[in-house]
Structures are given as structure tokens and as C-alpha cells.
Chains A and B, each alone.
Chain A
Amino acid sequence: MIPAAFDYKRASSAAEAISLVGQYGDDAKFLAGGHSLLPLMKLRLAQPAMLIDIGRIKDLSYIKDGGDHIAIGALTRHMDVEKSALVLKEVPLLAHAAGHVGDAQVRHRGTIGGSLAHADSASDLPATTLALGATYVAQGPKGERLIAAADFYKGFLESALKPDEMLTEIRVPKMNGAKWGFEKFNRRAQDWAIVGVAAWRNKDASGVALVNMGSTPILATSVSAALKSGASVADAAELASAEAEPQSDLNASSEYRVHLAKVLVRRALEKASA
């Protein structure tokens, strides 16, 4: 429970944070809410030499109406996403998923940007924003670039962010009344999902993404394709794991995960089709 020694600097703006990380390179880590990084450091599984605290950058915590999308600052706390009237109205699936992250303490400290940048396939928000077709804004020394959620997740805890880039904003398309379902299957309420499903559907299209069914969040494109070609929810759900490569762990074998994914995709889509 005692981390290895590290240095600490507090950035007061995104530009300063990016400049600092450019200075310290691979030895540096951004510290936002700390709810992913600090446990790893206490177990000495992560030993960054420099922590750049971005938690007090004021202008990165916001929720704005961007026209066809909702723009959320990377340092917005889960609890603010969960409770936002704007998110509840325009992207209710995201508000609901944010309410399932960890426990109340985690949701008050953890940030949406931190969760996405950590790129943990077992977390709820990477898959949820993936299902919703979100776009992430990354800021680097040369300015901003946009990264589609579908291009963001590269491997286990590995994202498309470059070492000197910082995630600053998440743009989530408005759902325009599409129905949705969210299934989080776990043994304790506060845990990561053993398998989770975020799904939405309107009369033309759908989006289904899976939590903890591989080293990255998985977009279940076969399910959406089947629905588009007229398959029933039950039949489409049978294709739930077509894109997945589920691992085995203490809670679930890969076989059980595949089974759960089918059941949970069906249940989520039943809600999204009701």
C-alpha cells in the first residue's frame, strides 16, 4: 500500500500539462481522479517517476450542447455526468452507465477522461462511448486531433493517445430518442463487470458494445448487422461474441463469458426494442 517514490507537479492548464509531459516523457503519468492509477501505484504495478496532476485544471470540467452531440470535458466527474440534465435528456445511456461506475466515492472522484484514457476494457465507459459512436479530442504539442472511439482502443490498457497527448474532450452523438439497454453483470455492485453490454437501437440502426470481452472494449458489429438485415433480437444476440476474444479469470471462463454475452446482449436489446 506504499507506492514507490515519485515526483509531483501540478498543471494549471492543458497546455502546461502537455508541456510537462513532453519534458518528462515516458516516466510521467497524468493524475486526474486517481481511481485507476493510484491503486496500481500502491501495489507497485505502476511506478511512474513523475505525476502530473491535471485534477485542478478548471476549464476541462463541463458538459455542453454541441448541436448534434454533447461535449464533455475530460475532467468531468462521473457523478456530474450521471446527474446532468443535458446528458440524461440527450444521451441517457451514458448517464445510466456513469451511474454504474464503481461506488459513490469513486464516482465523485473519478473522471470520464481518466476512465477512457486508462483504456480498461473492464470499465463501463469505454464500451458505452464506443457503442454511442463517440469522438475523443486529444490535445498535443501541435494542437488538437479527433480520434473516433472505434480507433482509440489499441490493446490492454493501451490507447491511441501519444505519450505527449492529453484527452481533453469527449463528444457523444445525441441519441435522438433511440431506445437503449445497459446490462452490467457482476458479483458485487461495486465491481468491474464480468461482462457488460451497452446497446441502443432506433428504426434504422443500432450500436452494441461489450465490456470485458477482450483486451479492448468490443463493438459487436455482427449483432448490429444482423439486426439491420432483419434478424430477431434473439437471433442477433447469438452473434454477440463474434468480434470478442474473451479471457478467463477468477470469476469467469471464456466459455462462460461467451454465454453471458449472448444472454446480456439479448436482454439489453429487448430493453432497447421495447
Chain B
Amino acid sequence: MTMTDNRQNTVIGTRQLRREDPALLTGEAKFTNDLNLPGALHLSILRSPHAHAKIVSINTAAAKSSPGVVAVYTGAELQSQWAGPMPCAWPVTADMKNPPHFPLAANKVCYVGDGVVAVLATSESASRDALDLIEVQYTVLKAVVDVEEALSDANIIHEDLGTNKSYTWNLKIEATEGCVEEAFQNAAFKVSERYVQQRLLPMAMEPRAVAAVPQPFGGDITLYSSTQIPHILKVMAALTLGIPEQQVRVIAPSVGGGFGSKLDVYAEELLCMALARKHGLPVRWVEERSENSMATIHGRGQVQYVELAADKGGKLTAVRVRIKADMGAYLQLVTPGVPILGAFLYAGVYDIPHAYDFSCDGIFTTLTPTDAYRGAGRPEATYAIESAMDALAREMNIDPLELRKRNFIQKEQFPYLAFSGLTYDSGDHLQAAEKAAGLADYVGIRAQQAKQNVPGAKKRLGIGMSSYFEMCGLAPSRVLASLNYGAGGWEAATVRVLPTCKVQVVTGTSPHGQGHETSWAMIASEKLGIPQEDIDVLHSDTAISPLGLDTYGSRSLPVGGVAIAGACDKVIDKARLIAAHQLECSADDLEFAGGVFSVKGSPDRAVPMAAIAFAAFTAHNLPDGLEPNLEAQYTYDPPNFSWPFGTHMCVLEVDTETGQIEILKYVAVDDCGVQINPLIVEGQVHGGVIQGLAQALFEEAVYDTDGNLKTTTLAEYLVPAASDVPSITTAHTVTPSPTNQLGVKGIGEAGTIGAASTVINAVVDALSGVGVTYMPMPASPQNVWRAIQSAAKAM
């Protein structure tokens, strides 16, 4: 199965513009809110202004008589609509506590933004205006904002649970009992660090939007949603609403970004469906931007305690990690599993003995629920180990790149059976690090730093790095089973060669900006020898693509793309039988290249795919017993995760008077194995790096002590714009994955995973000479200035 030799490819590996872009850039592409649905009712939701409060009374009389209003519902009035609570698909432990969570709160609200009342009206403005006429009386309770204070259970959010702790999840791997503790006792060097992963607001360009269209006589319902997961949503919506699954169709039209925030089953999707059925009319909802900041899941939200032990040469001897993970008020679809996705990566790219002790508490707060956000657990883990490695280098007074080199898993060790029992498929960390160091002029920067960073320097120079490993391509179904995940990790594809030799590739992945249509057509073209322009990719509609597990976790290419290659193989196998029949030879005597079957050694005896496609369609002359038509379905369950890796470096200057940071150079060396379309890879790295850099320097969901979100507009929540980010130098090494036939790994999250620690390490590097050893994220000018001030006082 291994294909390490990529040189024979003629389509795969070429830089190509995305076929999706003309429609997106000209406005031709239709998003959920662009759909024309005559007679649709508009849903607006009154949300809680309090983080934690009991609902005493709700008066909807004025809203009901407001012009255009059709109906107003409280949570209690809709309770009969639900066959069960909203789903959490990842009960990470057997005793995990999961409070019932319904689309509207009935008795109490648990975060600012919790839905309280639903208004249906004939227009969006009418439903919005009616919200201002609803009176809700609350008894305000104490907010629980700090994740560590929440553990004290001084104020319990969900009384029936008796605690604010949802679960404790452990991963302790010891060669001999007690060896972690011994390693710390015997360590020549050790570090003990605390890091805070601030909450982030996913800000997809397109906010969420939903439209549910019922067919009242048949009972069927079609849900349009700006979602990453039409397939999973179909199952979960059917279960939550008690509708037979075969009557539910979910379509994700053009989707303008997700970053994990649309990997969820949301209250508004269920409300639109329930109310559409109740009223027999289409019901639609579109999120306002400020609503998005509190009603869509948040990312990150962890406090990390990381300890490293090392011998006198700096070789790591043990890793100990304690995580306090902020679940928010409820468990959304995979909320509890997010920290677990990082749990295996706190040793990073380093060769450590079986001395690893990880534990995570999942904790409820009265804030918006958290869930997967680009990287989901892995950026957090990478940040912790890579920041701690810099701390260890400072402790040992050695160069951080040198410390990493002493600990890298060596390329000869791959496939590498890690302490955790997981096998890292392939890698060459030293090569990636040295390439990044060369591009960043690591040696030159160190020399310049020695000259520039003198006492009193107004501009201090820093260089930081992060060598990352990503566990992605979710995922082998059996491994997911061992983690208690509620679904498999396979992906399905159908390749259908039409009578005129045009091709439909049907995929279960659900693109929302990644360029799947381009990349999937390239894979099929390479395999079938049929021009890309003759290949269409169909997706994101459960009636057209009934089988699929959607797009997240950098899985689409290493699982879904490989499934397409497998379906192409099955098509070729069948075509080969037809070709052999026509050429009156044995199938084994045929070779297939450039879309043509020919007899080995007799290239003039040949038949092109076009002739086979038509023959398969007419079925006039097929081998006995062979089904007509040329189509195959293939479902691929990967044998392993894919393990992209790389090293990022950042050179920056800190203005010590103001705390302002200027990035001078950002180098990203990423290895995602074989690249299908290097232009798309580069775009994914650019976007990913900027999202990581945004966490490092700009973005933070700020709450006050009463649990009010203070960053509800894009004036306060600082998503960087093009003018605020550096030009990025991208480069690659190519280490094919041996576990799939394309040799590919995922790349959607890699940039984000590498970037935040790279930038923060550079900031600390610039300022370590003035006593700064810790920099909170985001490293805003004020935070940098304060760190310099307090270090100066301490010195």
C-alpha cells in the first residue's frame, strides 16, 4: 500500500487555483441565509443577560401582539418537543457528569447567552423587535467564572450533580510503579510551569444560519445549516427530536468557515426543526455577530500545570501534567473530549521513557460551553510542552534549539511506538528544525541579539520556536472506541463514471472553505486518468451523499481523500474486467495508465476508459455476471492517525517602552507527507499560523467577575486583519505517511498548533534578559509592559 515514490504523479503535487473560488468571490455561491424560502418564519431568541440565575417569570403577552409575530415560546412550553436532551457524543469516563441540556432553558440560565424565549415572526426585523417586549424576571445567583475556583464547589451550578466537576481523566504510563515520582526526585533539572489557555471566540466569516423546511404531509424535513457535520447532525437531530432518521435530510450549502465551531449540534438547529414541524412552515434563523460571540461554542479555556524532569544532559526523563479544563455551562457535542485529544501529546516530538502522568479535570463554569476549535486539545498540549522546553533550556542555560535536538525522536526510530501505545507513523524532526533554523537565520539572529539586547535597549530582539507533532486524521474507529467516543472514524466515497466518461465523486467529507472539490478531483483525476474538468465532487447533502462522518480534526484528506482513492481502485478493477472482456485477454495481462487499458507488451491493443464507461452503461456486452454501470463505493477506516509535524520559528522585536511587538519574520516548516495541491497546503498553513498568532497576541474572550462577556463585537474581540500579521515564509519537508496509499497527512490544524508557542517563546526570549520568564496570552502591549515592569521590580 505504501507509496513513497511521488514522482510519477502528474496531477497530484501541482499548484492549482481552487475551482470553488470564482463562485465564492463573485457572490454566486449560496449560503444558508441566501436561500429563498417563500413563507418562511423567522426565529429570534431572547438570551439570558445573566451568567447564573433562576427564571422566576416570563411575560410574553406584549411580544405576542407585536406586529408580524406568529408565536412566542418559553423553554417550558417547548419541553414536550424533545425526545431527549441535546447530545454529547463523548462521555470520556464512565462516571462523567452531564447535566441535561435543552435548546431553551426552562428553570434556570447558566451562562450569558443561554436561550430563554423563542419568537417566530413573518420577518427577521419583526422577530427581533419583539424580543425587546419580553419581560423576564430572574433571581440572580453567583456566577462561577474561574475554572479553578469552580472546583471548590462553593457555588454549584447544576444542583442535581452535586459538584462542578464533570470528570477526571487519567493517563498514567509507568515502566515501573512510581517511576515518574522517582524521575522527578532524581532529576538533574526540572521545571514546573503554569500556563493559561485563554478562551477564544471562533469567528467564522459566515455566522451560523439555519433553515428547516418541512413537508407536512409526508413528515419529512430538510434542514439547511451552516454546519461542518451534516451527517452527524442528521443522526443527532433525529434522535433528539424523535423523528425517524430516514425522514431527515440535512444539507450544508456553501459554508463560510467553521474552525470546529460548526462541529456541533446546536439549539437553533433543533428549534428550527421543531417549530417548522409544529407550524408546517419553513423556519429560519441567522446569528447576529454579537450573538455569535456568546451562543456559539468557545475554544480553549484550560489551565495547565506542566512539569518536566531531565537528566544532566537535558534528556527528558518524565512528564507530569495536570489540566483544569473549562467545559462552560454544559457539555456540547465533544466538549469533554477536547483536552483528551491533546492528552497524548504533552511529550511533544521527544523521545521519552515510559514515565508520563497526565490527568485532566473537566469543570463546569457559568460561561458559554467550550468545544473543538482549530486543533482542539493539540495546540494547548503543544503550547505547554514547547513553552516548558524553553523554560528547561533557560533553567539549564543552554540553547533551546540544542535542547530540542538532544530530545527529538530520530528519523530512524519511525514508525515509533510511543509510551502511550500509539504509533507515530513517520517523521524527521531534526530535518524540519534545521530547515527552519536556516530560513530564520537562527545563528545570525543569536549573534545580532547579543549586540542588540544590551541593558536599557529600547528594542529587544527575540527568536522563538516550536517543534510540533499533530495527532490528526480522526481516526481509527477502534481507537476511538477505546476513548469512549460515540462514533467511528471511517470515511466513505463513491466514484461514479457516467456514460460519457464524466465522473461524479461523492464524498462524506463536508468542506467549509478547505477546497475539497479541487483536491478530490485531483485525486480522482490522478487515479482514473480522466481530466479534472470532467470530474465533479458532490458533498454536504445527506440525500446525495448518505454515508459520511464529515470534516474536522484534519481528517478529510487522510481519511476521506484516501477513501476516494480506494473507490477509484474499485472502479479501475471493474473497468479492467470489462477491458479484458473487450480485448479478449486476461485481466492480469492489462496495464492501466493515462486512462487507457492496454495489453502488456502490445500497446496497440488498448481500450480507453471512455469506451469502457459507455459499454458499462449500455451493458450490451459485459462479462457474464458483471453488474452494469461503472461505479464503486468504498469506506476507509484508517489504521492509524496521521502525524504531521514541523518546526516554526518567529523573530520579533519588543518595544520595551510601550510593550508593542513587531514580528520581523515568521518561518513555518511543515511536513504533511505527500501534498495533493501545494497551493492549498500553503493557504492552510497561512490561515492556521495566523489563527495561532491571534491567540498569542490578539484574541481573548474577556469575562468580568459576574460572568458578563466583555468582547461581544469585533471592536473588542481583536481578530487580526491582514495589516496586522506578518508575511509568512512557508517551507516543507515531505515524509510520506506509510499508512495510506496516498502518503498523505492532514494540514488544516498544523499551523495553529505550531504558532502560539512559537510567538510567545520569541517574546519571552526577547525579554529574558530583563528578567521576564513568563508571558500570559495574549501578549498585548499592556501585558508585555506589565511583565517588564514587574520583572524590573523583582530584580
A residues contacting B by CB (< 8 A) are: 1-2, 4-5, 43-44, 103, 185, 187-192, 194, 250-253, 256, 259-260, 263-264
Contact = CB atoms under 8 A, between A and B. Distances in A.
A250 B781 CA distance: 12
Interface residues of B, number: 28
Contact of B718 (A188, A253, A263): A188
Q: Which 9 A-B pairs have the closest CB atoms?
A: A189-B723, A1-B288, A2-B128, A188-B724, A263-B657, A256-B782, A2-B125, A252-B782, A187-B718
Nearest to A4: B129
Contact of A190 (B289, B721, B785, B786): B721
Contact of B724 (A1, A5, A189): A189
A189 B721 contact: yes
A190 B660 CA distance: 16
A44 B131 CA distance: 12
B288 A2 contact: yes
B700 to A, nearest CB: 9
Nearest to A44: B132
Nearest to A259: B785
Contacts of B129: 4-5
Contacts of B288: 1-2
A256 B781 CA distance: 10
Contacts of A251: 780-782
A15 to B, nearest CB: 33
A192 B718 CA distance: 12
B445 interface: no
27 contacts: A1-B288, A2-B124, A2-B125, A2-B128, A4-B129, A43-B713, A103-B721, A185-B658, A185-B660, A185-B781, A187-B698, A187-B781, A188-B698, A188-B718, A188-B720, A188-B721, A188-B724, A190-B721, A190-B723, A191-B718, A250-B710, A250-B711, A250-B716, A251-B781, A256-B785, A259-B785, A263-B658
A205 B134 CA distance: 59
Given A250-B710, A259-B785, A263-B658, A191 B715 contact: yes
A185 B658 CA distance: 9
Interface string B254-297: 00000000000000000000000000000000001110000000
A10 B83 CA distance: 54
Contacts of B713: 43
Nearest to B124: A2
B702 interface: yes
Nearest to B786: A256
Interface centre among B702, B710, B715 (most CB of A within 10 A): B715
Contacts of B780: 187, 251
Nearest to B659: A256
A107 to B, nearest CB: 13
Nearest to A252: B782
Nearest to A195: B658
Nearest to B123: A2
Contacts of B710: 250
A191 B781 CA distance: 14
A43 B290 CA distance: 8
Interface centre among B698, B713, B781 (most CB of A within 10 A): B781
Given A1-B288, A5-B125, A188-B698, 20 more contacts: A2-B125, A2-B128, A2-B288, A4-B129, A5-B129, A43-B290, A185-B658, A187-B718, A188-B724, A190-B721, A191-B718, A192-B715, A194-B781, A250-B702, A251-B780, A252-B782, A256-B782, A256-B785, A263-B657, A263-B658
A188 B132 CA distance: 34
Nearest to A256: B782
A263 B658 CA distance: 8
A248 B720 CA distance: 22
Contacts of A260: 658
A192 to B, nearest CB: 8
Interface string B718-737: 10110110000000000000
Contacts of A103: 721, 723
Contacts of B718: 187-188, 191
Nearest to A183: B658
Contacts of A191: 715, 718
A111 B403 CA distance: 57
Nearest to B697: A187
A251 B711 CA distance: 11
Contacts of B132: 4, 44
Nearest to B710: A250
Contacts of A190: 721, 723
A4 B786 CA distance: 42
Contacts of A188: 698, 718, 720-721, 723-724
